[in-house]
Amino acid sequence: MTPRNILRKLHWASVVPVVALVILFFTWGSAPGTPMLILVGVILGATVPAAVHHAEVVAHRVGEPFGSLVLAVAVTVIEVALIVALMASGDAGTATLARDTVFAAVMITCNGIIGLSLLVAALRNRVAVFNAEGTATALATVLTLATLSLVLPSFTTSRSGPEFSSSQLAFAAMVSLALYMLFVFIQTVRHREYFVPDGQNDEDHTGESPSNRQAFMSLGILLVALVAVVGLSKIASPAIEAGVSAVGAPHSAVGVVIALLVLMPETVAAVRNARRGRVQTSFNLGLGSAMASIGLTIPVIAVATIWLEGPLHLGLDPVQMVFLALTGIVGTLTVLPGRATLQQGGVHLVLCGAFLFLALNP
């Protein structure tokens, strides 16, 4: 995106998040009627491309992989805040909310975002090309984090049910944070070249990069937009829960819907990068979000359990474990060659579709 295009789009992309934040301020803690919920939905839909735009400005200024890291971490931090806020409310189903939301984020990113990116890139260039070294490293880290934090609780014996003991939860939290920080070091310092897409001179990254002032302004507006996206999603959560109940879906589907809403900015950004042939950036966004979702959520939830009442069920059920295992196998076969076609994209999208379908129809 050239500076001229950045300046042309700056006005609407800056106004929409502020409007969304104002609406969030006046509707927070209330039960808005149908007209207000419709307005919330419209503003929510407009805030997503605004967030993507400002993320691209920041990415253009700092370069890859820092740009995708900014968006992944920002979205995850807000997602964690939303999970903790909902768990603190003490509503029914909060015992599994963290598990359901985090696992949904892993499935949506590793299958939905990856599948869409491969599909779009393969339609454009017949074969999607990316760095196998960096992508395999990211995928291995995601699978390790998911297994340690979401699979093991179903098999440990210190507590009955899919729950860690206090010491086990503390260990899982430390390991999750340590693995995530190690990956960030590898991605941004030690082996940055593994995560930088080829063809840096494409049409979207020509010309003068944004100034520091523009980048900091976009970073601030990006955070405002992400707060608005997650906050408005929480405002709409009663309607989401009512809709989930109306279709006869289990309460765990609420976490899936929340994950879908929160991940909208990253999904749009990943597809736009794939359309420009920057598949590695799309993978950085997808796998980086999955990793951050586990690596940052588990430590925060572990600390939050000090004052939160009620059990914390992190262990996956058998169907979810099957999806995780299949995602690991298919993902490994996809990333190791460093090249993929429409077939791989279709397989990942089918996995994502099957997960979403069974989340509503267990």
CATH code for the domain of 319: 1.20.1420.30
Q: What separation in angstroms does the CA of 66 have from each of 69, 73, 196?
A: 5, 10, 10
- Say which residues have a Cβ less than 8 Å from residue 13's Cβ, sequence separation at least 6: 49, 50, 53, 54, 221
Per-residue pLDDT of the chain (362 residues; tens, 9 = 90+): 455 554 454 467 888 888 988 988 888 777 777 788 888 878 877 887 787 778 778 877 777 677 777 777 777 777 777 777 667 665 656 778 888 989 999 999 999 999 999 999 999 888 999 999 999 999 999 999 999 999 999 998 888 778 898 899 999 999 999 999 999 999 888 888 888 876 544 444 444 677 878 888 888 888 888 888 778 877 776 677 777 777 777 777 878 887 887 788 788 889 988 998 889 999 998 998 899 889 888 888 888 887 777 778 899 999 999 999 999 999 999 999 999 999 999 999 999 999 999 988 87
Check residue 349 and give its pLDDT. Answer: 96
What is the total count of domains within the chain?
Answer: 1
The distance of Cα 195 from the centroid of its chain, to the nearest Å, equals 18
Instruction: Please give the residue range of the domain that contains residue 16.
Output: 3-360
pLDDT tens-digit series, residues 202-223: 444 444 677 878 888 888 888 8
Burial class from Cβ neighbours inside 10 Å (0-12, 13-18, 19+) for residue 199 reads exposed
- pTM for this structure? 0.82
Tokens encoding 135: 């992508």
Cα separation of 302 and 173, whole Å?
Answer: 7
Cα separation of 177 and 72, whole Å?
Answer: 15
Tokens encoding 15: 């106004």
Check residue 232 and give its pLDDT. Answer: 80
Q: What separation in angstroms does the CA of 179 have from each of 64, 141, 185, 291, 355?
A: 21, 7, 10, 9, 26
Q: Are 210 and 7 in contact (CB under 8 A)?
A: no
The distance of Cα 157 from the centroid of its chain, to the nearest Å, equals 31
Secondary structure (DSSP) of 18-51: HHHHHHHHHHTTS---HHHHHHHHHHHHHHHHHH
Cβ count within 10 A of residue 291:
29
Closest-CA residue to 173 (of 271, 285, 332, 305): 305
pLDDT tens-digit series, residues 143-164: 999 999 999 999 988 887 788 9
